[in-house]
Amino acid sequence: MTSSAGTATAPQAIGPAVTPRDVVAAYVGLTKPRIVELLLVTTLPAMFLAAGGVPSFKTMLVTLVGGYLAAGSANTYNNVIDADIDELMRRTRTRALPRHRVSKRAAALYGTVLGVASVLVLGLGANWLSAWLALLANALYVFVYTMWLKRLTSQNIVWGGIAGCFPPLIGWTAVTGTVAWPPIVLFAIVFFWTPPHTWALAWRYREDYAAGGVPMLPVVASRVTVAGRIVIYSVLTVLTSLLLWPVAHTGWIYPIVAGSCGAWLIVESVMLLRRARAGADDTGAKPMRLFHWSNAYLALVFAAAALDPWLL
């Protein structure tokens, strides 16, 4: 929305949620379900790989519920801390806090309840190693990324994104009770995958991040620089994914899927760089093509890791 002078204005406050549907929608929205879904996509395959087949239903249910609660807690605190930024960005100004559907105090209490519940669910239902790993991931996301790095440096998502790498470790330890090399490789895949995935989205919403004062790389660097970094991290992602083949002793399904999907990820990133070098604007560069493919890439690679042990 713009005023008659052409300057951006914040959305009008709608006020507290009053109907049961409003309340449910507001509190579910605080957990950022779409982001949680992506995290769970990396949790379940690690459990299949750890079990060498299908884990017990109880273990899967406990881990997925506990993982949702943990990620939901971190995302809720992210909403609370970033409420001022969210109100300035078009992409986020319809969230519950900018629209005053939920108060900051209620959201913070909700995030705390979810966090405590996640530790108890994972600790009592799976094991305490998984519970403490989930708690560490939350602490990194809230205190290191959201409260510190996000507004400080263009490398925010590189190091702050470590929190999103924990689900494979949590899934593996929920089944085995120990940490091993395969989940560490899965952790590293997500680590290298996160920057190009996030930078592609930030490229599309560069003006939003600039308005919110968030120094994402596409805000502070040229399109060519961003695309070049995306290529580098895409290559590192693919190379790391192939390490799982010898480390986890997978069959041939995993390397075929990881190699073919990885090749396409690199092709998409190189095409993005070529469009940037050709002088394409934000729309012409088509960064969302890479963003959407990166989502599919991660899901397919982790699905291959899950299916490989019991298909061969």
- For the chain, the average pLDDT equals 91
All domains in the chain, ordered by first residue: 20-178 (1.10.357.140), 180-312 (1.20.120)
**C-alpha–C-alpha distance, residues 256 and 262, integer Å:** 10
The pLDDT score that the predictor gives to residue 11 is 46
Smallest CA-to-CA distance from 260 within 288, 241, 233 is with 241
pLDDT digit string, tens, across residues 129-163: 999 999 999 999 999 999 999 999 999 999 989 99
Instruction: Quickly state the pLDDT bin for 92 (edges 50, 70, 90).
Output: confident
Do residues 45 and 302 lie in contact, with contact meaning Cβ atoms separated by under 8 Å? yes
pLDDT digit string, tens, across residues 14-68: 555 567 888 889 999 999 988 878 888 899 999 999 998 899 999 999 999 999 9
The pLDDT score that the predictor gives to residue 147 is 95
**C-alpha–C-alpha distance, residues 161 and 81, integer Å:** 17
Q: pTM, whole model, 2 decimals?
A: 0.91
The pLDDT score that the predictor gives to residue 16 is 57
Kindly give, in sequence order, each residue whose CB lies less than 8 Å from that of residue 66, ignoring residues fewer than 6 positions away: 118, 121, 122, 125, 126, 130, 131, 134
Neighbour-count burial of 262, counting CB atoms closer than 10 A to its CB (0-12 exposed, 13-18 middle, 19+ buried): buried
List b or e across 154-175, with b for residues whose CB sees 16 or more CB atoms inside 10 angstroms.
bebbbbbbbbbbbbbbbbbbbb
The pLDDT score that the predictor gives to residue 17 is 53
pLDDT digit string, tens, across residues 240-279: 999 999 999 999 999 999 999 999 999 999 999 999 999 9
**C-alpha–C-alpha distance, residues 219 and 221, integer Å:** 6
The pLDDT score that the predictor gives to residue 90 is 87
